[in-house]
Structure 1
Amino acid sequence: MLPSSPAVVAAAAVIVLFVLLVAVRRLRAPSAEARESKRAHEAARERDPPVEIGETYEFGVTELTDHHSGEEVAVGKVEGFVVFTEDIPGGLSKGDVIRAKVLSFNEGRTSADATFVTKA
């Protein structure tokens, strides 16, 4: 039979509460991928963009996604700098190499918007 003094019950309750708090904290902690994304974003804010407005760049499509404009855009990177490319043709796939003309930077200059020029 387990001791049931108030001190033992209180100590057990504190231990259970501590274990629950640790478990909740681990479940709510950002994933390794989220931490890496945040680190890359912060690093991008500390450097000048490796692209210039009006210039055309060639890069591989890393993903296709819906942009805030509602259109599907191609996402790629130039020297680690994210470029969202609009006006993409149908049939474009992840891994395709494209050329795109940079139109603008986002707030903070951590990514750029571009328009599709041609498939490389």
Structure 2
Amino acid sequence: MLGQVALAGGVVLALVIASVLFKRIRGGSADQRRSRKRHREAQEREPPIDIGDVEEVAIREFTDHHSGERRAVGKIEGFVVFVEDIPDHCEPTDVLRIKVLSFNRGQTSATATCLETV
């Protein structure tokens, strides 16, 4: 009886390990695979904006820059823009008029400054 319990436990453990390994081989969850695919596609396309462009963007969320400064995160045609110098009263969904300052090394995101809230 004890041997059967140990055997059943071993089978369950083997199935759990096989499931974890299968997910790693497949590349993770469906959401993770989609996210990696979108990231690769973003790396291969030209940015939809240029340095110096003035655009309007809605705040999706906020992030803290490594300098400690709070930045707004927005998207223009799916392209991520980090906006600095945002007023303290701003909240997600607020719309900002921004000026694009620079791109990151791979041109997969941009930094902009807030000109005004819209």
**TM-score with structure 2 setting the length:** 0.80
How many angstroms apart in 1 are the aligned matches of 2:114 and 2:30?
32
Determine the structure 2 residue equivalent to 1:19: 15
Determine the structure 1 residue equivalent to 2:111: 113
- Coordinate RMSD, CA, aligned: 3.0
Partner-residue secondary structure (3-state), 1:59: strand
1:86 aligns with 2:114: no
How many angstroms apart in 1 are the aligned matches of 2:92 and 2:2?
64
Determine the structure 2 residue equivalent to 1:96: 94
CA distance change for structure 1 residues 3 and 58 in 2, over 3 Å: closer, same or farther?
closer
1:49 aligns with 2:56: no
CA distance change for structure 1 residues 25 and 49 in 2, over 3 Å: closer, same or farther?
same
Structure 1 gaps, min length 5:
none
| Greater Rg by CA | 1
**TM-score with structure 1 setting the length:** 0.79
CA distance change for structure 1 residues 31 and 89 in 2, over 3 Å: closer, same or farther?
farther
CA distance change for structure 1 residues 100 and 33 in 2, over 3 Å: closer, same or farther?
farther
Structure 2 gaps, min length 5:
none
How many angstroms apart in 2 are the aligned matches of 1:31 and 1:70?
33
